[in-house]
């Protein structure tokens, strides 16, 4: 079942400059595998070798952080929206 995936600007060069793509799968892992089959090289930018999202990449399903759901095993259904958001580091240190 297709879900909408929002692609962050730094990864858009891998998706032919598309900020939204569709991917098939019933879990975040399946979505990432499907994205990789469509856009070679994207999975290694998002995931560690074990398939878990990289530490500085936040993944949301319908605006809920998957870290508070089931991680990469979080289920998705048709009509859901997955957002890939690079964490922003920095701040004033005061």
**With 70 as the cut, is the pLDDT of residue 24 above it?**
yes
In order of their start, the domains of the chain are 2-86 (3.10.20.30)
Cβ-in-10-Å burial (0-12, 13-18, 19+) of 69 comes to middle
pLDDT in tens, 39-64: 999 999 999 999 899 999 999 999 99
> Using 50, 70 and 90 to split pLDDT, how confident is the model at 73?
very high
Question: Smallest Cα–Cα separation from 3: which of 12, 29, 16?
Answer: 29
pTM for the whole structure: 0.89
Please give the Cα distance from 62 to 79 (Å, whole number): 9
Q: What angle do CA 53, 57, 63 make, to 5 degrees?
A: 95
Mean pLDDT computed over every residue of the chain = 93
pLDDT band at 91 (very low <50, low <70, confident <90, very high): low
pLDDT, average across residues 12-20? 97
Judged against a pLDDT cut of 60, whether residue 94 lies above it is answered with no
**Residue recorded with tokens 């991917």:** 23
């Amino acid at each position: 079942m297709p879900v909408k995936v929002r692609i962050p600007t730094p990864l858009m060069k891998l998706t032919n400059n598309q900020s939204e793509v569709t991917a098939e799968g019933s879990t975040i892992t399946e979505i990432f595998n499907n994205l990789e089959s469509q856009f070679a090289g994207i999975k290694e930018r998002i995931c560690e070798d074990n398939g878990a999202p990289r530490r500085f990449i936040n993944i949301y399903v319908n605006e809920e952080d998957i870290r508070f759901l089931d991680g990469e095993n979080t289920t998705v259904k048709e009509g859901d929206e997955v957002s890939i958001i690079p964490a922003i580091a920095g701040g004033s240190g005061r």
